[in-house]
Chains A and B, each alone.
Chain A
Amino acid sequence: MDVLSLDLLVVALRLATPVAFVALGELFSERAGIINIGVEGSALAGALIAGIVAHYSGSAWLALAAAVGIGMLLGFIHAIWCVYLRANHVVAGAAVNILVAGLALFLTVLVWDWRGRSASVVSLDPWILVWLLLVLVVVAQVFLFRTRWGLRLRVVGEHPQAADTAGINVYRTRVAYSVLTGALCGLAGAFLVNNLGRFTAGMVGGRGFIGIAAMVVGNYKPIPAFLAAYLFGFVDALQMRLQDVIPSEISMMLPYVLTVIVLAGFLGKANVPAALGKPYIKEQG
């Protein structure tokens, strides 16, 4: 069998899409100074709510909107914890992950009387979301580096005091971009449900965390972050074909080995926002 073909690139794009949505989402939060490891749970929540809304309404579009909505809500809650209550960002994010993992089991029992899994639900062509992703990546790149709003966002993450002095509301900016992160995670979850045609509790399966890694590898820039996500998708697609050639234990390791290698190689020169993870306290400016 031919290992390399055009088809491989297509499969890689499908595998990369949820990772890239999360990577793009995480990018906005971290640029604003908020670490959000709750993206894994936010994506799962998006998938869960997409499944539930599709089940009751029969509308895949409404389900998509609901997935974005729940993501925004979780992003908002995370921002309140981190910005106003000055919680530890990592702990707050972990709380979201645990909360959603529990909710997924509970709500699937309520809705489908089947723990951790939905019945088939109506779905969109997942390629709609792939195209949406590609557009968003380009828009994000332009937004971040070619617009006034993008500059303000970057300043909030780099030097919140300076931003504050210049009249930018640091708190509100952080909350707003955290909400945007949630929305993008919701899209990641919605993609997974539309791709499979149903919800399962394990369906995010670490793709959220890989998304964070992709964002770091992409050096906090949208297009490179997408390319990093695509690289993970590509290696995942490649290992599927290589299972014929090399033992599956080895081939299944490849995406993770790659993550370690790439992170070790890139982390040194990553331009981490200076104020990342630090609460901003106005009076102490």
Chain B
Amino acid sequence: MRKLLLVLAVVALAATVAVGHPKIGLILATGGLGDRSFNDMGYWGAEMAAEEIAEQYGVSVDDVLDYVEPREIADYEGYYREFARTGEYDIIVCIGFDHAEPLEFTAPDYPDQKFVIVDDVADADNVASVLFNDQEAAFLCGVVAGMISDTGKAGVLGGMDIPLIRRFVDGFTQGMQWVDADAEVMSRFVGAWNDPTLGMELSREMYRAGADIIYGAAGGSHLGTFVAAEDSADRWAIGTDVDQAWSVPEHSDVIIASGLKRVDLAVYEEIMKVIDGTWEPGVIQYGLATETRTGHGIAFGPWDVSEYIQASYSTASLPNDVVRDVLLKLDEAVQGILDGTIEIEVE
């Protein structure tokens, strides 16, 4: 009997402790986990925060972090309500620009619930909207292209012709022309984020038209760019969001650089702000100049020269002096963007 009471006491104690720890709700974009890019980074950021919280409270990560992978945009609202209604979650993180509209609509119904959206603005009093200056990383990728291209021509493969992707095209073009004023940048759009076959043909098209570097901004579709780059020894590719020489190691020999978008750090940051009690709603714009330095950068070459220019897993065979020159130029570009001597214009 006493044993039973003891067990009950322990269970009761555990229950009170369990109630005491913070919880994170994560709602991913329809692409779901497994992209080793945008969605996965959102998850890694939340997981990183959850690990810290779990350790602090002596619980497991699964107790702290709950996530869902909606299949349709239409499912988003149901998940917001499902998470918010319990009142258990200290913060609900929504990954992807297409959350903006449903979240803006739903968030006011739960005024005490904190929400975060990544990549677009949801205008509500209890939502923090995290944006990135995509054009800055794109500019740096353009600088790399300008330094390495022999033909003076490069291409951008976009997923869709939307403002988000236009920021990539504009930034890249201006970066390349900052190095080489005569440089020519062409662009092609796949019309889908998951059609690498079409992405490959469109990339071949641009390579054939004289581009020797193609910057992929088409999600899963620009896997085809890497395959097309393997066709010939003088073709290169530049990746997006993560160091794709790491995420697609089979093609690390053609991926000379990758523009970075640290969604993971941004998500981690927002969650930890809630834990510290410093979280507030509004728009957070990450870029090279932000204080937290969570925003942007580029993975290039073997050396880690600054927080913005990170070492890459690329195995592309560039001579060391070329790599050094590019790194110096990148550093110059970063300083230019920071002190305002370089202004990147976007539509």
Contact = CB atoms under 8 A, between A and B. Distances in A.
Interface size class of B (residues with CB under 8 A): 20 to 34
Interface string A181-206: 00000000000100111101111010
A114 B36 contact: yes
Contacts of B51: none
A109 B32 CA distance: 13
Interface in A263-282: none
Given A15-B197, A115-B33, A195-B200, 20 more contacts: A7-B208, A11-B201, A14-B201, A116-B35, A196-B197, A198-B223, A200-B220, A202-B194, A202-B220, A203-B195, A203-B196, A203-B197, A205-B197, A236-B201, A240-B188, A240-B202, A240-B205, A241-B205, A243-B187, A247-B161
A105 B69 CA distance: 13
Contact of A196 (B35, B161, B186, B224): B224
A171 to B, nearest CB: 37
A120 interface: yes
B34 A114 contact: yes
Given A202-B192, A203-B196, A243-B188, A1 B224 contact: no
Contacts of A244: 186
Nearest to A239: B191
A243 B251 CA distance: 27
Contacts of B209: 1
A205 B220 CA distance: 12
Nearest to A119: B250
A169 interface: no
Interface of A: 1, 7, 11, 14-15, 105, 108-109, 114-117, 119-120, 192, 195-198, 200-203, 205, 236-237, 240-241, 243-244, 247-249, 252
Top 9 nearest A-B pairs (CB, nearest first) are A115-B34, A202-B194, A120-B250, A248-B189, A252-B191, A205-B195, A248-B161, A240-B205, A116-B34
B235 interface: no
A47 to B, nearest CB: 10
